[in-house]
Chains A and B, each alone.
Chain A
Amino acid sequence: MTISSAPDEALVLAAIEQVWGSMLFASAEPWPTDRAADFGSGVQAQIELRGDWNGRLVLTCDSDVATQIAGAMLGLGPDEELPELDIHDAVGEVLNVVGGSVKGALVGTWALGLPGVSETSEAPGRDESFVVSWGDAPVYVQILPDAA
């Protein structure tokens, strides 16, 4: 993974690819910019990163995608169901590990917060996020610096 002084899209994408592969046994590809990304209600996970750059990493996905991510992480069969609390926990932990990988690739002293997860009914705009694939569905990723 490239060493950087602040998180950027390439670094976060590399961390997601690593975590998708090792924890979720799936591949993450950049979502084609000309492809529509449908979104219903979903889950949004956030984690703070503090250091030379201060801000949050945010991961937003559809509820079905969140359920699939949790199932893949826990190795569940297609008929096994998880309570919502466990789905949120799993998505938060995925972002926590992504954040840890990003932090480990940054130069200097950095601190990672604890992940928080909430429901959302809106996906971020394509101009304020980049999108990776979970199978045939989009996962939105944002690198949001603190407001000045």
Chain B
Amino acid sequence: MRALIVDDSRAMRRIVGRILEGVGFEVLEAGDGQEALGVLEGLDGPPELACVDWNMPVMDGFTFITEVRKRSEWRSITLMMVTTESEMDQIVRALAAGAHEYLIKPFTGEAMLEKLDLLGLLPTSTGV
């Protein structure tokens, strides 16, 4: 399985990447939404998961998920917002735009794994 991490912080990409690699994902990275669209364009098939920050330069995460949801060939990507935006209206906006899950920073590795389990993206997931 492949995961695309979209975050302008290299440190955060590294932290999320380590968690995902630990459960068997091959990790791809992008520093903003525009770069992430370019990464997706260059792949032979969509990744199973994209973890997307909200506040980024060039193209923010909300615009990125909106763009992804316009493309039928990327419909299978599970989108998880991983962001400091914690207000309920922001969460609702992201879910309405096509995000499947929402993880608020700061988070623990366990919290991210719980979300992946809920999404059926762990090797032992029940896909609740």
Contact = CB atoms under 8 A, between A and B. Distances in A.
Given A74-B11, A96-B9, A103 B84 contact: yes
What's the dominant secondary structure at chain A's contact region?
helix
Given A97-B84, A104-B87, A74 B15 contact: yes
What's the dominant secondary structure at chain B's contact region?
loop
Interface residues of A, number: 24
Given A74-B15, A103-B86, A104-B87, 20 more contacts: A18-B106, A19-B106, A22-B108, A70-B11, A73-B15, A74-B11, A74-B14, A75-B18, A85-B10, A86-B10, A89-B9, A93-B12, A96-B9, A96-B55, A96-B105, A100-B83, A100-B84, A100-B105, A101-B86, A101-B106
Contact of B9 (A75, A92, A101): A92
Interface of A: 18-19, 22-23, 70, 73-75, 85-86, 89-90, 92-93, 96-97, 99-101, 103-104, 112-114
B36 to A, nearest CB: 17
Interface residues of B, number: 21
